[in-house]
């Protein structure tokens, strides 16, 4: 488990192993979300980077008769 220290200006350096695993680059934005007593950092990605991530997913859905 990696650790970070909060600076007097409330800044945090994300440890290198974590940055590399998450693919975070310098200048990239992250969403900061408080969740159940912890803080989550979610990398913001361009919408184009998500293209094709659902490739191969089954899209045929059996619908209820009143939904057709």
CA angle 44, 46, 48 (to 5 degrees): 150
Residue 40 lies in a domain: yes
Q: CA 65 to CA 41: how far, in whole Å? A: 42
Residue 7 lies in a domain: no
Close Cβ partners of 67 (under 8 Å, ≥ 6 residues apart)? none
The number of distinct structural domains making up the chain is: 1
Residue 10 lies in a domain: no
Residue 64 lies in a domain: no
pLDDT of residue 20: 93
Residue 66 lies in a domain: no
Answer yes or no: pTM beyond 0.85. no
Average pLDDT, the chain: 88
pLDDT of residue 58: 80
pLDDT tens string 50-63 = 777 788 888 888 88
Domain with 26, as residue range(s), is 17-47
Residue 60 lies in a domain: no
């Amino acid at each position: 488990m990696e650790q970070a220290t909060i600076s007097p200006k409330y800044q945090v350096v994300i440890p290198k192993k974590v940055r590399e695993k998450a693919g975070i680059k310098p200048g990239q934005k992250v969403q900061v979300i408080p969740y159940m007593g912890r803080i989550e950092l979610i990398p913001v990605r361009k919408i184009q980077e998500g293209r094709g991530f659902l490739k191969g997913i089954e899209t045929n859905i059996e619908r209820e008769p009143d939904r057709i």
